[in-house]
Every structure is written in structure tokens, then in C-alpha cells.
Structure 1
Amino acid sequence: MTAYRDVPQPETKPGIASAEDGVVVLDGPNGLAVTMTAEAATGTGQSLIAAAQTAELQIGEKGETDA
């Protein structure tokens, strides 16, 4: 039986992005660090925003069906 504590939970704190020596560094929780080119960071940022908007819509839809 899987205990709930074993199930990964979504992170609630945002990562922090910075530019260093011409690359973008994203620092996240628990020591997570990702280094990207400016182009990759731009694409990642756009993808994250689109996914966040979709997730917010899904939460809204779930709330409507629970009512």
C-alpha cells in the first residue's frame, strides 16, 4: 500500500531565475538548478505560463463540477 507521504506533492514556491555570463540559471527548491540558453529559457517560460493557465482552468472546472 502506498502511503500518501510517498506521493510527490507539487511545489508551492516559485523558482528564481537569474542571468549569469550569458546564460539563464533557474534555482528551485531542494537544490534544484537548471542552466539554459536565453532561447531555451524563453521557450521554457512561455511553456510554463501556458501550462499554468491551463492548470488554473482545470482547477476552475473541477470546482464547478464539485458545486
Structure 2
Amino acid sequence: MNGHGLEPHRQGGTASAESGIVLLEGPGGVAVALTPDAAEATARSLDAAALEARGQRPIQSPSIRI
């Protein structure tokens, strides 16, 4: 995802459960409601992407934000 012009957030999101739904609140006002299955799939995907990103060279542009 190069060239999207957004600065990556340095704060993580917070997850909670309410009435059988997983609520994910992230930085910048991001909010997502997920089923438990979708939350587990998202957690696996985020974990895999974070592991992969740690092995990559950082983008040099200061104007990259996700």
C-alpha cells in the first residue's frame, strides 16, 4: 500500500464485547462492530500483517498514514 498519503497511527485500538458483538475502537475515531468469527479472523490477519511488516524496510516518506 504505497503512496496512500497517510501517516501510520502509533496507538493501537481497543476491543470490547457487548451483547455477543465485538466492538473495535481505534485511533482517529475508527469504530467497527464485528461478529466473534469476524473478530477472530481480523485478529489473525492483523497479527500476520504486523509480523510481515516488522520484517520490511520502513517507508521513508513522512506523509504515509494508515
User: Please, what TM-score do these two structures have when normalized by structure 1?
Assistant: 0.75
Give the CA deviation at 1:21.
0.6
Give the Cα separation in 2 of the matches to 1:36 and 1:46: 14
**Is the helix fraction higher in 1 or 2?**
1
Q: Which runs of 5+ in 1 are unaligned?
A: 1-6, 61-67
Which structure is higher in RCO with an 8 Å CA cutoff and minimum separation 6?
A: 2
In 1, the alpha carbon distance for the partners of 2:19 and 2:57 equals: 39
Tell me how many residue pairs correspond in the alignment: 54
Which of 31, 36, 41 is the equivalent residue of 2:29?
Answer: 31
- 2:7 aligns to what SS in structure 1? coil
Q: Give percent identity, aligned residues only.
A: 46
The residue matched to 1:58 in structure 2 has which SS?
coil
Q: Which of 6, 9, 14 in structure 1 is aligned with 2:7?
A: 9
- Residue matched to 2:41: 43
Q: What RMSD, in angstroms, separates the aligned Cα atoms of the two structures?
A: 1.4
| Consecutive aligned runs of 4 or more in structure 1 exceeding 3 Å deviation | none
Return the offset for 1:59.
Answer: 3.4
